[in-house]
Structure 1
Amino acid sequence: MRSKTSDEWRSILKSKTWDSPEGEKRIFPILKLSFDDLKPPSLKQCFAYCSMFVKDFDIEKDDLIQLWMAQGWLHPFSDKSLEMEERGNEYFKILLAKSFFQDVTKDYGGNVTKCKMHDLVHDLAEHVSKSRNLCSLFSNGEVLGSNLLNFKSLRVLNLYKADIMELPISIGKLKHLRYLNVLKTRIKTFPKSIGQLYNLQTLKIHYQLEEFPREIANLINLRHIYFGRYMKVPGGILRQLTNLRSLPFLKVGNKTGPGIEELGCLNQLHDTLSIYGLENVGDGGEASKANLVEKKHIRKLILDWKPSRPSHNVENDDDVLEGLRPHSSLEFLEIQGFMGVKLPSWLLLAHNLKEIELLGCNKCEGVPVLGHLPNLSCVKIMRMENLTRIGSEFYGDDHVNCGNGSSKEPRPLFPALKTLHIEGAQNLIEWMEAPRERASVVFPCLEELTLIKCHKLTSAPSHFPSLKKLVIEWMDSGGMPIASILSNQLTTLTYLSFLGVKGLTCLPGGMLEKNKNLAHLDISQCSDLTCISPQSQGFEYCCASLSYLRIRICHYLRYLPDGLLTPSLKEMELYYCPNLQYIPDATHGGLTSLETLSLTLCCDITSIPFSQGLPALGKLHIDQCWELSSLPLVD
């Protein structure tokens, strides 16, 4: 209503709406005012339709739009360039902006996928709904059978969770049906008459269906189809469904099932496409028949090979992946179980890519060139066992112009990257710095760095100007890369966690003092750790923001540094540190915020010298601390 003129607002202010009593009775007519303001009229119908759902139901956005579409409310009128799904998305955004929807759930890209309706909003939808005129049936199955012929004008048949084992043959008589949902039923087979539903737009099939009905090939108006990953789809069906916008996945068959080429003419596919069984694709030429490069509406692409397969079945992986070049609009890419040696050249041109995951690419000997991609925000590399070195090629320096016209300022590398996760690179030894002339502009936005099971890593870069969260787990020579990452330049950390790191005897000097916003410190199973900081005393209040401190199974840790325990601390756990002798007294007013204190198997601790007491303590756990003779005051 923000777009209204001053005269329109005066009219609203004079409305009798504001004369209603306080509380919910007054809110309802105000909501009705917002409803009356909805334009065009079909948007009001879309809102009223939401009363079909029970209160507090998790409404899936795409499902709701498909239901609106089935009712015929999303057909083009003034702007014929918009698809029905696009218009439905606009309507959804309007209703969300007007607070008719709440409790939203979002996907990896920040897009809303689910929502709920407030009870009062649901009541309004019921109040304004003309449900007697709606061509929709949400049923538990009781009206099926001969009674189904009483609903010949039906556009929506929603049997979600209905206790039924079969659909009647008469379903083929529902010539106007556009939406059919049999998810979470006990249906095992479909009648052949399903192929007579020529106007069907959305079909949702239960994953336990024993046989995929071949008659679906007749449904040339089908736009959205959903079925389980393990559904055996016969070959030749998908190539007939050229209007498909949603396809959950394609499982490429060997001798039976659909071939990769069946994707070739499905250029209207939107959002997510997952392709499994790529070990069954013969070569790059066959892969290119999928015509992914023409599918400009695909935002997320998952390419999956079966990892456990004979060695002779991996020879063509490089060519197959090269042939699966997607459209440049791709935003999310996952490559799983690829057994080729080299990642595809088309990654160089993926300028819209936001996230990439390389999972189980065990034969790859190098990482792809990524540093030049302007929108890349997340990189996840897992189980690349042949990777021994991350060199200068990772940064993509050769693919970034060093200036724009007259400017000679070097452009940043990984300019948008926020999360970098490397796990299971068991033979990775060296992670090089960026080229010297570009080192000052690498990782300008990186906030989270995770290194797990990189056992042999001995070197890492030292320039992470925005790093907030650092997690390192199971590293045999962790002292050297940690010293590099936690260099004197790093001042932005808020979260630090080490687990199973060998060679770490102490955190680098000055690290705690310089990272004044550090709130979470967790060190576990670091067998060589003797102290947290090289200074045992003399620096105060070094962790002014620390709220969580956990130290577990550090056998040789002897003391905690002065200044570590401050009023901000809320939770502290010390577990199995048998040589820990010294816990410093709290500084600057005591541990006024400490809510949880746990000490277990700290055999040499004789006292807890919190002289100013623990006024906020709610949970105290002490176990097998045999020498402990005094406790702090607890209010």
Structure 2
Amino acid sequence: MGGVGKTTTMKVLHNSPEIIGLFQMVIWITMSKDGDIRKVQKDILKRLSLEFDDDESVERTSSRIFQGFSNMKYLLLLDDLWQRMDLDIIGIPKPSKENGCKMVITTRSMVVCNKMEIDEAIKVEILSEEEAWNLFRVKVGNVVDLQDIREIATQVVQECQGLPLAIIVIGGSLRNKSDLREWRSAWKELRSNRYEIIDEMEESVFKILKFSYDLLKSNNIKKCFLYCALYPEDYEIRETELIQCWWAEGFIDGALSLDEAYDKGHAIINYLKDVSLLEGDGLHPWLVKMHDVIRDLALIITSSSASLSAKMVREDGNQFLVRTNIGIEVVSNEEDWGQFQRISLMCNKLCSLPKNPTSLLLETLFLQGNPNLSRIPESFFEHMHNLRVLDLSYTAVGELPSSVTNLVSLRGLYLVQCHDLVTLPSQIGNLKKLQVLHLGGSTVGCIGNFRCLPIEIQQLTLLRSLQVSFYGGISSGNRLMVPNGIISRLYLLEDLSIDVETEGHKSPKFGETIAEEVCSLKELTQLQFHFTTLESFEYFLSESCPWKNQNLKSFQFIVHCNSEEQFDPIRSSAEDASVTRYLRLLGGNYTSTVFAEVLQRANGFYLQGHQISQGLLDFGLENLNQLKLCVVVECNMMEIIINGNDIDSSTCAVLPNMEYLEVSTMPTMRAIWEGPMPPGSFSRLACLGISSCEKLRNIFTRGILQQLSNLEELHVNFCNNLQVVVDEEEEGGHDVALFPKLKILTLKHLRRLKGFGKQFLFPWHHP
């Protein structure tokens, strides 16, 4: 990103005697934002000690430059490149192994790197905490060692988030200042995004960063970028949630299907990452966030009070009120919301809202993450006719007021994890433009109360995404969770999720026609559903067009094979966005062929309480090849998860794509795997979790370890008869390196554990 130190790095290259000694000439060109070819030619001619002629054609100048470079081994440094530059047009011979020439470019955009067909990309990272502090100390001076200053100076550096340019500018404005009041004032400015005392913050930092914003390809992409500033500092935004909001706001063409909108949204996110305005998360690729200083830039652009933003606000019509994560408890009734297009009060301590705010311009209202907010004033929505996205998730709101009927432009409504919400008002049927509705669930430590969907939901015929979670007890008399006839009327649905988690995991109380209604939805591409009988599941698979045509890109099927059985809910810690197609079987005493049909397309399998299965091979080895995740729980007839003795010697690898395996509460299980395994079996297994398996005496043999070279995590708990982790009784294989990639090892409540094996004894002994 801008200000991270790319130009400084180029200066080091340009001035390094070691680098200069490798080439006949080192040429540094600072590129202009408009890619002016004549300027580049002029700078190169000057470096070659040749005259530049304004009247000369580009082609003639190019020829003279090419001759000047003849038989010369050069290093060309192109700093701050914003678009593709054709070396042939300028007259520069292309670097190659044959001529020994090199070219280094700096840019904020990976797009430019790709267009320049670079050989190697090096991302210039922000400074580490130690590096940031050392740079700040150099710029500020020894004053940071004063006892009163040190603590607040540390906070100031943290606010810079490792961006060298910000550290240099802020450090320079505080150099040798020992008055604690000045430091406190500067800290407050940094937190408020309004800079008056810190010299050159807008001119030297944000003006430079703003070039990246100015060169975004379209106004819609600019709006997508600015939208991310509505979330709190350092907030990790789920990409699907962000794209849904962009789509509901109209930044992504509403004529696109939801599936197409996701593709478009991910392309925009990747583009914003490529131009260094958004950051990804390497461990969680489905999350994205803004660097703090970039977020400050976005807030300045969207605030009418900053000099840099004044023109932008009038030009783009963006005015935000963003007060996130600062402990606000009350919003004054007198506060004017009328001037704002988007308001975010996320992650505060709000307990009340204005009674009747005038918000005719308001299109976005983020109130999520206010757990003390339990009531919305009756007339609160009366003047919000233009509101498009409303998020009340993670609040204690128990009901929506009747004024919700005024939200005639609302396209996205989020009421996720509102543990006091029981149902929706009948007025919900008046929100004819609603396309995304997500509701239900429970917060940590609370039992959710959402009981049922109102019949008026069927009037929302433009809905594309309906996600509802029924949690906790469901003792609502004879009232159905999903009344008959609702789902079939929502014929445009592309994303349907009906998640049920009740005490004892009872079979949910749906309408009799629910499976038929789900089958009638022709546009589905994502489905999460709880089938209450095997018969309803078989009916869906045989009649659903999206399933038969393989249009379901994401599915989560829970099949309650015996509605009389109850199960404690199992949710694996390994669930993530990469496991998008899974089958969860609850109970049952058969292995229906429909399971094989689904498993062939699944990458996740949860098997709980199966009454006859003796191992995963009962479901067909060939059906399990795509699985990345597998969880086996409470299968009392299963002694071995994978029995290699039952596998033909010519069989291909067993579970070659499996990354996570969890085995829990298996009283009869004596081994995870047994017998020989074909080469490549379990080759991708990265995490193995085992708990409450009383008969298990060892986990690995030397033979199976040859297959597990990628194991990174091993968790073993409550296996009271486990004696060794590695059984070394079998001959051979003693030269195998144990767990070469193991990073995390958890061993808990293993009363008879003696050690890893004969050669790997622990220094302690359990009683």
Q: TM-score range by the shorter chain?
A: 0.5 to 0.7
Aligned residue type for 2:292: D
How far the C-alpha of 1:483 sits from its partner, in A, is: 3.4
How far the C-alpha of 1:199 sits from its partner, in A, is: 1.5
SS in 1 for 2:296: helix
Task: Give unpaired runs (5+ residues) of structure 1.
Answer: 306-316, 342-351, 397-412, 457-474, 565-572, 575-597, 603-635
How far the C-alpha of 1:553 sits from its partner, in A, is: 5.2
* Contact 1:336–1:360 under 8 Å retained in 2: yes
Structure 1 residues 389 and 176: alpha-carbon distance in aligned structure 2, compared to 1, 3 A threshold: closer
Structure 1 residues 601 and 554: alpha-carbon distance in aligned structure 2, compared to 1, 3 A threshold: closer
Instruction: Determine the structure 1 residue equivalent to 2:386.
Output: 176
Aligned partners of 1:51, 1:506: CA distance in 2, in Å? Answer: 49
Aligned partners of 1:487, 1:502: CA distance in 2, in Å? Answer: 26
Instruction: Determine the structure 2 residue equivalent to 1:424.
Output: 634
Alignment partner of 1:127 is 2:300: yes
- Which of 441, 459, 477 is residue 240 of structure 1 equivalent to? 459
- Which of 584, 601, 609 is residue 358 of structure 1 equivalent to? 584
Aligned residue type for 2:482: P
Structure 1 residues 127 and 263: alpha-carbon distance in aligned structure 2, compared to 1, 3 A threshold: same
Q: Deviations over 1:169-222 (max 9, x none)?
A: 262333222223334445444332322322111223444245521011111111
Alignment partner of 1:97 is 2:303: no
Aligned partners of 1:34, 1:123: CA distance in 2, in Å? Answer: 14
* Contact 1:232–1:257 under 8 Å retained in 2: yes
Instruction: Determine the structure 1 residue equivalent to 2:436.
Output: 224
Instruction: Determine the structure 1 residue equivalent to 2:14.
Output: none
* Matched residues, number: 499
Aligned residue type for 1:381: L
Aligned residue type for 1:102: E
* Contact 2:424–2:454 under 8 Å retained in 1: no
Aligned residue type for 2:764: L
Instruction: Determine the structure 2 residue equivalent to 1:335.
Output: 558
Q: Deviations over 1:289-311 (max 9, x none)?
A: 2335524221x413154xxxxxx
How far the C-alpha of 1:40 sits from its partner, in A, is: 0.9
Aligned partners of 1:152, 1:364: CA distance in 2, in Å? Answer: 60
Alignment of 1:261-272 (within 5 A): 261-271=485-495
Alignment partner of 1:8 is 2:35: yes
Aligned partners of 2:492, 2:260: CA distance in 1, in Å? Answer: 11
How far the C-alpha of 1:248 sits from its partner, in A, is: 1.9
Q: Deviations over 1:453-501 (max 9, x none)?
A: 4444xxxxxxxxxxxxxxxxxx2x43xx743156899795887787756
How far the C-alpha of 1:62 sits from its partner, in A, is: 4.7
Q: Deviations over 1:316-374 (max 9, x none)?
A: x2332233345223333231533179xxxxxxxxxx99632324224445575538966
Alignment partner of 1:445 is 2:668: no
Instruction: Determine the structure 1 residue equivalent to 2:425.
Output: 213
- Which of 561, 564, 572 is residue 758 of structure 2 equivalent to? 561
How far the C-alpha of 1:390 sits from its partner, in A, is: 5.9
* Contact 2:660–2:686 under 8 Å retained in 1: no
Instruction: Determine the structure 2 residue equivalent to 1:303.
Output: 530
Instruction: Determine the structure 1 residue equivalent to 2:343.
Output: 137
How far the C-alpha of 1:386 sits from its partner, in A, is: 4.0
* Contact 1:159–1:181 under 8 Å retained in 2: yes
* Contact 2:643–2:674 under 8 Å retained in 1: no
Instruction: Determine the structure 1 residue equivalent to 2:363.
Output: 155
Aligned partners of 1:415, 1:368: CA distance in 2, in Å? Answer: 16
RMSD, aligned α-carbons: 5.0
SS in 2 for 1:165: coil
Instruction: Determine the structure 2 residue equivalent to 1:586.
Output: none
Alignment of 1:441-590 (within 5 A): 442-456=654-668, 475=669, 477-478=670-671, 482-484=673-675, 500=693, 502=695, 504=697, 508=701, 525-526=720-721, 532-534=727-729, 543=738, 545=740, 560-562=757-759, 564=760, 574=762
Higher mean Cα deviation, 218-227 or 182-191? 182-191
Aligned partners of 2:241, 2:690: CA distance in 1, in Å? Answer: 43
How far the C-alpha of 1:259 sits from its partner, in A, is: 1.9
Aligned partners of 2:283, 2:741: CA distance in 1, in Å? Answer: 31
Aligned residue type for 2:165: G
Higher mean Cα deviation, 531-540 or 353-362? 531-540
Aligned partners of 1:414, 1:98: CA distance in 2, in Å? Answer: 40
* Contact 2:354–2:380 under 8 Å retained in 1: no
Structure 1 residues 15 and 558: alpha-carbon distance in aligned structure 2, compared to 1, 3 A threshold: closer
SS in 2 for 1:212: coil
Aligned residue type for 2:467: P
Higher percent of residues as helix: 2
Aligned partners of 2:363, 2:753: CA distance in 1, in Å? Answer: 71
Aligned partners of 1:522, 1:55: CA distance in 2, in Å? Answer: 34
Structure 1 residues 214 and 38: alpha-carbon distance in aligned structure 2, compared to 1, 3 A threshold: same
* Contact 1:76–1:82 under 8 Å retained in 2: no
Aligned partners of 1:530, 1:96: CA distance in 2, in Å? Answer: 44
Alignment of 1:408-419 (within 5 A): 414-419=624-629
SS in 1 for 2:223: helix
How far the C-alpha of 1:46 sits from its partner, in A, is: 2.8
Identity %: 18
SS in 2 for 1:8: coil
Structure 1 residues 538 and 335: alpha-carbon distance in aligned structure 2, compared to 1, 3 A threshold: closer
Aligned partners of 2:453, 2:257: CA distance in 1, in Å? Answer: 36
* Contact 1:260–1:286 under 8 Å retained in 2: yes
Aligned residue type for 1:195: T
* Contact 1:423–1:452 under 8 Å retained in 2: yes
* TM-score, with structure 1 as normaliser: 0.63
* Contact 1:66–1:179 under 8 Å retained in 2: no
Aligned residue type for 2:652: S
Aligned partners of 1:439, 1:34: CA distance in 2, in Å? Answer: 55
Q: Deviations over 1:378-437 (max 9, x none)?
A: 3221221243576666246xxxxxxxxxxxxxxxx6443333332221023687767748
Structure 1 residues 212 and 484: alpha-carbon distance in aligned structure 2, compared to 1, 3 A threshold: same
* Contact 1:419–1:447 under 8 Å retained in 2: yes
Aligned partners of 1:204, 1:491: CA distance in 2, in Å? Answer: 40
* Contact 1:419–1:449 under 8 Å retained in 2: yes
Higher mean Cα deviation, 362-371 or 484-493? 484-493
Aligned residue type for 2:583: E
Alignment partner of 1:385 is 2:611: yes
* Contact 1:100–1:121 under 8 Å retained in 2: yes
* Contact 2:654–2:682 under 8 Å retained in 1: no
Aligned residue type for 1:182: L
Structure 1 residues 46 and 98: alpha-carbon distance in aligned structure 2, compared to 1, 3 A threshold: same
How far the C-alpha of 1:518 sits from its partner, in A, is: 7.3
Structure 1 residues 552 and 163: alpha-carbon distance in aligned structure 2, compared to 1, 3 A threshold: closer
